[in-house]
Chains A and B, each alone.
Chain A
């Protein structure tokens, strides 16, 4: 049963050696200096763990610092206090073996689809021809064989997401960070992409930190759901999701009683945060 649980859940035995992909966030805080010279605390005392090879979702109201947390895990941003450890090593600067998927398109519009996907291997020093072969292989795996020479603007939103997915996974990262990757997609495309993500994830089993404001998405995909509060952002509760894997099609999962029960329990906790955050922004607007 899903329960509030701060302790680590056990990773499958065959991934026990992948401790290098554990993400430990401890007492993380982030403060910004506003243009007026005031200190704004975006995050305070955020603590949670992503076990190796597990899928962890972070949900919370808008502006609770979810994305800030993610950029500190990736090493793009530095924490003001606390620490992020990846595989037991403190993160300082860009860490190897991490891939990032953004909400907005991060594809290079001047490169072809294959040109975009092969960037990862090229940056790692793989030869041009070998990188191209790898890119073709990954495009086939995300169902885009035959689109290698298209430019991103010629593809639909869902297809661009597949390209981004291939580009993120081609380096076979030990950690995959996703910042509302399917947020801009329509409902049907989103469900299809979620199912495909689960399929690819089960082949590679990187540790995933997945940010979303869609609780259904979080419960359908994740083993663990971290609920965050806003202003300043901090962890409110952590829930384990014990829906069996492989989970199959996300569309069908939504109607299972156990899914609904889990979703409902987490929503109880999330709802007051969302309402509080909404009241704050509405008050600020007035």
Chain B
């Protein structure tokens, strides 16, 4: 007997109905397994928070750890509510948050824009990159946070020095990623578009920038953290408003709960920014294949 397509077709006589039903039950089982996993995941996450925060509360309540130095979760919560309700000695707490946020966002925008423009142009130009390379390394080696002192001296205790400090911190993170992203552009793709007749401007627009965008966007997540750090440090060095000032004041009055309260508020702000950046990332990088982890195996 020879194997013909029809013969091969008859070898697998699965009636379509049982096949579909079996598929449905397999899918159902898969969904159940996924739901179970999700429930356990959240139970474990919640449990972890309870152990850490509860343990902190317990040890400080039993005076095994001194709440005077290390704060206490209940105290931090009370202090946070108090800050929002009664404000600080310098005015409303919302003003402080708005000030810090403004400094961080402006610094972030300025630093990211400068980093992208310089990173992309230096990544394009090998000679310029070789000339400036050592200097950039030197500047990168400087502890830039100290620049904050100079900015305060030069620009006073307003918003400007904080924006500048944020921008400097953000710039280097974004710059190095943009630079590297441009360097990593696929040689084949470059050769291909050049043969197709692309001008240098075409290459930048259609190839270099989209390709480097993966790197740039990844760096923006870290960069926003740095923007906040820049704003806070600037405020600690000298300011009239800002969460950094609230933290510094709390430190001065030996109030660890106040320091932690400032930290809590900043964390929430950073998480919100992170979420917005993830939305932006999804939108700009929608062409990327889903990572294997997202296509869950049953």
Q: Which residues of A contact B (CB under 8 A)?
A: 71, 74-76, 94, 96, 98-100, 102, 104-111, 119-120, 122-124, 151, 153-154, 167, 171, 177
Contact A120 B191 (CB under 8 A): no
Contact of A123 (CB < 8 Å), options: B191, B193, B210: B193
Q: Which residues of B contact A (CB under 8 A)?
A: 186, 188-189, 191-199, 202, 206-207, 210-211, 213, 285, 287-289
Give the interface SS of chain A, mostly helix, strand, loop or mixed. Answer: loop
Give the CA-CA distance A126 to B243 in the complex, in Å.
55
Contact A123 B207 (CB under 8 A): no
The closest CB in chain A to the CB of B198 belongs to: A123
A96 with B188: in contact, given A108-B207, A123-B202 (CB under 8 Å)? no
Q: A177 to chain B: which residues have CB within 8 Å?
A: 195
Give the CA-CA distance A100 to B198 in the complex, in Å.
13
The closest CB in chain B to the CB of A171 belongs to: B196
Of B189, B191, B192, B288, most A-chain CB atoms within 10 Å: B192
Contact B199 A123 (CB under 8 A): yes
Contact A74 B188 (CB under 8 A): no
Contact B192 A100 (CB under 8 A): yes
Q: A122 to chain B: which residues have CB within 8 Å?
A: 202
The closest CB in chain A to the CB of B188 belongs to: A106
Q: A167 to chain B: which residues have CB within 8 Å?
A: 196
Contact A108 B206 (CB under 8 A): yes
A76 with B196: in contact, given A108-B206, A108-B210 (CB under 8 Å)? no
The closest CB in chain A to the CB of B186 belongs to: A106
Contact of B192 (CB < 8 Å), options: A102, A111, A124: A102
Can you list 7 contacts pairing A with B, beta carbon distance less than 8 Å?
A: A106-B192, A107-B189, A108-B193, A109-B287, A110-B287, A124-B197, A171-B196
Contact B196 A120 (CB under 8 A): yes
Q: A111 to chain B: which residues have CB within 8 Å?
A: 206, 210, 287
Give the CA-CA distance A104 to B196 in the complex, in Å.
17
B173 to chain A: closest CB distance in Å?
23
A108 with B195: in contact, given A119-B206, A123-B202 (CB under 8 Å)? no
A246 to chain B: closest CB distance in Å?
28
The closest CB in chain B to the CB of A96 belongs to: B197
Give the CA-CA distance A98 to B207 in the complex, in Å.
20
